[in-house]
Amino acid sequence: MKYSVPRGAKDILPDESALWQSLEEKFRKIFALFNYKEIRTPIFEMTELFTRSIGESTDIVKKEMYTFLDRKGRSLTLRPEGTAPVVRAGLENNLISPDQIAKLYYFGPMFRYERPQAGRQRQFHQAGAEVFGSPDPLLDVESIILNLRLFEAIGLKNLEVDINSVGDRKCQPNYRAAIQRYFAEVISQMCEDCQERYRLNPLRILDCKEEKCQPFIEKAPASVETLCDECSRHFEKVIEYLKLRNIDFRINNRLVRGLDYYTKTTFEIVSNLLGAQKAISGGGRYDALVEAFGGKPTPAVGFAIGIERVIEILKTHNPQPTTQSGILFFIATIGEEAKRMGFDLVMKAREKGIAAEMDYLGKSLKAQMKLADRMLATYVYIIGEEELKKGAGILKDMRSSSQEETKFVDLFENLKG
Ligand code: HAM
């Protein structure tokens, strides 16, 4: 029986993991510059956490969640996104309150049962950031800037920022009504999913990807036309601050995003280097979510980056030399006793912080030298019967091929990185 990785999931192999590590390291530095602290939440949560926040009528909740009953019959769901868990954890641990700013970031796998294709997986990874505590449009802009700085840090260029405002709980009903009025005329010509969306949550019609629905969706009214004064002012401020910071952006009236919790600003960053799945990150404000989860009303804004999509661009368009960190030190031995001495020296090297390796397969000396070469060892230390008697092995510098006899006791002084 041969097993293969489940459909829609991928192994990240050692060749690629160096790239993931370097990306995470760079991201952490930028998060720290913006004063964000890391939070790690569980991979699964109570199902209701997601149905209530993302919305019953969204594609994610209706079709894409990995939901299961545990042994006590509780309904749990593998997290499809990170925002709801962060709000839950923030409230449960008193990190979130209306009168203080809390900035949290996270990395981790997310799960959505979607049709796998390039840039779309069933297990994928996000890096996300959430800031709680202020309605100030400056924070919307700071979020967008943080998002751009993260991309800049890993060398991504030519990105486009799309923004929109979907209004708040006061003016969203106006937009919903406008959308309903507009689609009433054409809904019979649209797909079945849209007809159901029309009944349950007409705003979600704008997420439809069906070819035949696009002409109708393109002419739908824009949410910015129905904003209340407060949301309008907020959106104007966001635009003003973006311009002040010289950030290019595009107002995209279709950008309602596939999750129900958004209020006011929504944004997406798009790369034209990708195919159909172009959005490398998305986010926005969600001023009503903390309260919906039982907290005091606390405004919030955040975003999440799709790491696989970013890695894809880096691999194909910014090929970086894979700086494989070769091991420094290989100990080649001949004979049982030498092997024991070799093992002792390998352990000593590691205690001193020198990466070291030896052969565990009883290979010939020639084969061990080849192995050391493949591992990009800087030095090989050879110990045979003769060397054991002398208390000194042969230290070979693989860069210059020069070698000299070196006593066991002097070994570590003679290694130069
Ligand atoms: P989202 O737009 O659903 O937002 O996901 C954010 C990003 O995750 C997308 O732009 C995309 O790059 C990546 N992504 C989503 N689904 C997949 C998939 N199936 N395969 C590969 N990559 C994918 C959220 O998840 C919100 N929680 C963002 C947020 C944070 N809003 C406020 N705070």
Residue 115 buriedness (CB in 10 A; 0-12 / 13-18 / 19+): exposed
Residue 203 has pLDDT above 70, yes or no: yes
pLDDT tens-place string over residues 188-202 = 999 999 999 899 889
Of the ranges 274-283, 359-368, 393-402, which one carries the lowest mean pLDDT score?
Answer: 274-283
Between the CA of 75 and the centroid of ligand 1 the distance, in Å, is 23
- pLDDT above 90 as % of the chain: 87
Which residue, by CA, sits nearest to atom 22 of ligand 1? Answer: 306
> CA-CA distance, 183 to 216, in Å (whole number)?
8
Q: What separation in angstroms does the CA of 401 have from each of 13, 68, 323, 384?
A: 32, 60, 22, 19
The side-by-side arrangement of strands in the sheet containing 379-383 is 356-358, 329-333, 379-383, 392-397, 403-407
Q: Which of 49, 105, 111, 124 to mutate to test the pocket of ligand 1 (most atoms within 8 A of CB)?
A: 124
Q: What is the pLDDT of residue 236?
A: 98
Residue 393, pLDDT > 60, answer yes
Give distance in angstroms: CA of 242 to centre of ligand 1.
Answer: 23
Residue of 281, 290, 312 with the most ligand 1 atoms within 8 Å of its CB, for mutation: 281
Find the residues whose C-beta lies inside 6 A of ligand 1.
81-83, 112, 114, 119-121, 124, 126, 128, 130, 258, 279-284, 286, 302-304, 306, 308-309
Check residue 54 and give its pLDDT. 97
Residue 325 Cα to ligand 1 middle (Å): 32
* Ligand 1 atom nearest 305 alpha carbon: 7
Q: How far is the CA of 125 from the centre of ligand 1 (A)?
A: 9
Quote the tokens at residue 361.
């397969």
What CATH number labels 329-414? 3.40.50.800
Q: From the alpha carbon of 268, which atom of ligand 1 is closest? A: 10
- pLDDT at position 325 over 80: no
pLDDT band at 275 (very low <50, low <70, confident <90, very high): confident
Q: Please state the atom number of ligand 1 nearest to the C-alpha of residue 114.
A: 19
- Provide the pLDDT confidence category of residue 29 given band limits of 50, 70 and 90: very high
263 CB-near residues (< 8 Å, 6+ apart):
166, 167, 168, 169, 172, 284, 285, 286, 287, 288
CATH fold of 14-171+227-316, please? BirA Bifunctional Protein; domain 2 (3.30.930)
Distance in Å, CA 155 to ligand 1 centroid: 21
Longest dimension (CA), the chain: 95
Ligand 1 centroid–CA 82 distance in Å is 9
Nearest CA to ligand 1 atom 25: 81
pLDDT computed for residue 326 by the predictor: 64
- Centre of ligand 1 from the C-alpha of residue 80, in Å: 9
Residue 118: both structure tokens together:
């390039």
CB neighbours of 39 closer than 8 A, spacing ≥ 6? 86, 89, 90, 95, 104, 105, 106
| pLDDT class of 324 with cuts at 50, 70, 90 | low
Could you tell me the pLDDT band of residue 322, with boundaries at 50, 70 and 90? low
Question: How much is the pLDDT for 413?
Answer: 84
Confidence of residue 297 (pLDDT cuts 50, 70, 90): very high
Phi, psi of 39 (to 5 degrees): -130, 140
Most confident of 235-244, 270-279, 347-356: 235-244
pLDDT of residue 417: 63
Predicted confidence band at 320 (pLDDT cuts at 50, 70, 90)? low
DSSP 261: T
Rounded CA gap, 415 and 417, in Å? 7
Predicted confidence (pLDDT) at residue 342 exceeds the cutoff of 70: yes
30-72 confidence digits (pLDDT tens): 999 999 999 999 999 999 999 999 999 899 999 999 999 999 9
Closest C-alpha among 259, 261, 241 to residue 249: 241
Using the predicted structure, report yes or no on whether residue 400 has a pLDDT greater than 90: yes
Percentage above 70 pLDDT, the chain: 98
Which of 31, 161, 309 gets mutated to test ligand 1 (max ligand atoms within 8 A of its CB)? 309
Structure tokens at 266: 């929504």
For 324, other C-beta atoms within 10 Å of its C-beta total: 11
CB 86 within 8 Å of CB 39: yes
- Residue to probe by mutation, ligand 1, list 81, 122, 209, 257, most atoms within 8 Å of CB: 81
Q: What is the dihedral of CA 100, 106, 111, 115, to 10 degrees?
A: 100
Distance 191 CA to ligand 1 centre (A): 25
Going by CA atoms, what residue is nearest to atom 23 of ligand 1? 306
Confidence of residue 415 (pLDDT cuts 50, 70, 90): confident
Looking at ligand 1, which atom is closest to the CA of residue 281?
A: 10
> For the whole model, what pTM was predicted?
0.93
State the closest ligand 1 atom to the C-alpha of 283, by its place in the atom list counted from 1.
31
Query: Per-residue pLDDT tens for 157-167?
Result: 889 999 999 99
What integer best gives the mean pLDDT of the chain? 94
User: Is the pLDDT reported for residue 323 higher than 70?
Assistant: no
Q: What's the confidence (pLDDT) of residue 207?
A: 83
Report how far residue 275's alpha carbon sits from residue 82's, in angstroms, rounded to the nearest whole number: 25
CA of 126 to the centre of ligand 1 (A): 7
Give domain limits for the chain. 14-171+227-316, 329-414
